[in-house]
A and B are shown apart, each in its own frame.
Chain A
């Protein structure tokens, strides 16, 4: 399989040579704002962890008795999940997180020259929505990828079940 197919997941879909060029620029990830503590990681770089963590907190902000995603360290669990994914998926995830926080991509697509992690929370919400509602299918897919993984990890955790009203699995007499 050609490397083009492997890289194709996002880059090809972010139509326009300018954006593809931006994806190739030494990543805007250098400007990524890191959280105070970064755990030991097996797949993410510290910057990739920071991006996923910021996205997960926007998706799952917590409040009113609900834990925010970061208090369950959804990003660290996503790291463990991606560490066991196949290499094509891993490459896609890295590319996606890179593009998500790339200031030049943000400038070209959304007119703001700031990495996602450096935005104020309300602006992060608007940035996420720009991905979710994009006319570019692969940008929407990128949003779905991050959303689904974060949601799955969060709601599989028993600490969220009380809020959901789920009593948990029944006792089984085996």
Chain B
């Protein structure tokens, strides 16, 4: 794609006084940029990550994680209890997204209205936005030909147990089913922001710059006056020394959960102490099964099947089930332990099958999730505690996953406890209740980051209003996953696409 420039490598400079500056080119910023540019606004879209296209994607985990993920693939909670997989490049998370696309469940939108005072976010109002986005991104329910053996275990196992399961919708056109979505699509089959809404925005006059980190906002008299932007060296991500200042009429943060609240904290904009609070991560537990036949979990589309059988558990934290790909590096990190025993399991990778359970955090009364604050040097620090409802969800989800894997014919199921439990029959499931859970006691992950700039009616409880505008800064909007007042119970990208398209209406009128 032409038209994306690099602040580190270009002698020209971004326009100093755009109508709208958008920080972040992911699922929020890219859709918003296209919509605003189509509405006639002069848009400046800035991305701190690099600009990579299909020919750059080596399909190697070491290259992908260091170039396409936050903190060079090393983002984690402060106590390392959760590995945080979060995208970072032109296109943001959509460059590495596993393509699973769901609209926001009605029950979640209703919860936001009832509990958080969110106004106007209804399926009826968002529907036309989702219709248009699904059309643009080729989002459709795939056929069973997209279901590899890895995903087939969930499809078959859930059916045998009489549990809900479905084939998912994916944002792909001409998918070759290689299974490398998480390392960047090498054939542009995945309809990521990089090949869709970003070119749309550029075509309508938006300026897009990579390697351009929004460092801080200068606010006076209730308005963003100036935005400080640093050029980052594409090879090291260190500041090159070049700094530019932009004076936009409107400033929009689309840096994603974790980074948007961190930027506002760096800018000293936290009058009510709500920034970074209500950070939700769909905490991921997992079980690995060994099958008698080859699964080849490294090939074939990820997450082509989902089960929401346990999404609603009255008074308890719910969870939903999907299937990740297993390439060597990710498998090695997921498997606990080390030495000869770890290696013996790794040697069976072709016969391994993985399920993940994503716990639906933020819906129970009192569940505030985690918190983003600042580290020395200004980077985000993420804390996410294990609550009792989360431990319960992890235990019950591990049992559910093991049941599915055994029902589908697994020889044995391994938990990711630091001392892994091996489950061969129903009676073994009780062992899960006795195993401790917490940082360093079990492997856990997040690939969905939400909240931290929560939307809501009460400024003492939230950061932005229902029109995405900051409660206290008039020309500042936040349009990304950080505004979600709770987690979603489904993969978040399509929710964020829809919200961004919807938010464009407010910003064009501002």
Which residues 317-376 of B have a CB within 8 angstroms of A? 327-329, 331-333, 338-340, 342-343, 346-350, 374-376
Using A148-B333, A153-B62 as known contacts, say yes or no to A84 and B349 having CB atoms under 8 A apart.
no
B71 engages A87 (CB within 8 Å): no
Across-interface contacts of A172 in B (CB, < 8 A): 59, 178, 186-187
> Interface of chain B, helix or strand or loop or mixed?
loop
State the CA gap A166–B295 with chains docked (Å). 12
Contact partners of A89 in chain B: CB under 8 A = 71, 74
Q: Are B298 and A166 in contact (CB under 8 A)?
A: yes
Mark the stretch among A20-28, A98-106, A110-118, A130-138 that contacts chain B: A130-138
Complex formed: what's the CA distance from A160 to B377 in Å? 37
Contact partner, B332, options A63, A125, A155, Cβ 8 Å: A155
Q: Are B438 and A169 in contact (CB under 8 A)?
A: no
A1–B339 Cα distance when bound, in Å, is 38
Q: How far is the CB of B327 from chain A (nearest CB, A)?
A: 7
**CB of B78 closer than 8 Å to a CB of A:** yes
Q: Is B224's beta carbon under 8 Å from chain A?
A: no
Is the pair A140, B346 in contact by a Cβ cutoff of 8 Å? no
**Closest CB in chain A relative to B365 CB, distance in Å:** 27
Cα distance A156–B64 when bound, in Å? Answer: 10
B residues 76-120 in Cβ contact with A at 8 Å: 78-81, 83
Docked complex Cα distance between A89 and B236 (Å): 15
Total inter-chain residue pairs, C-beta < 8 Å: 140
A44 within 8 A of B: no
B459, CB-defined interface residue at 8 Å: no
Type the 1/0 row for A142-174, where 1 means its CB is closer than 8 Å to any CB of B: 011101110111111100110111100110101
Give complex CA distance A149, B501 in Å.
39
22 example contacts (A-B, Cβ-Cβ < 8 A) are as follows: A5-B376, A59-B338, A60-B339, A87-B376, A88-B376, A88-B381, A132-B418, A139-B440, A141-B79, A141-B439, A144-B80, A151-B338, A152-B332, A153-B62, A156-B61, A160-B328, A163-B346, A164-B347, A166-B328, A169-B58, A170-B299, A172-B178
A→B interface (CB under 8 Å): 1, 3, 5-6, 9, 58-61, 63, 66, 81, 84-89, 91, 125, 128, 132-134, 137-141, 143-145, 147-149, 151-157, 160-161, 163-166, 169-170, 172, 174
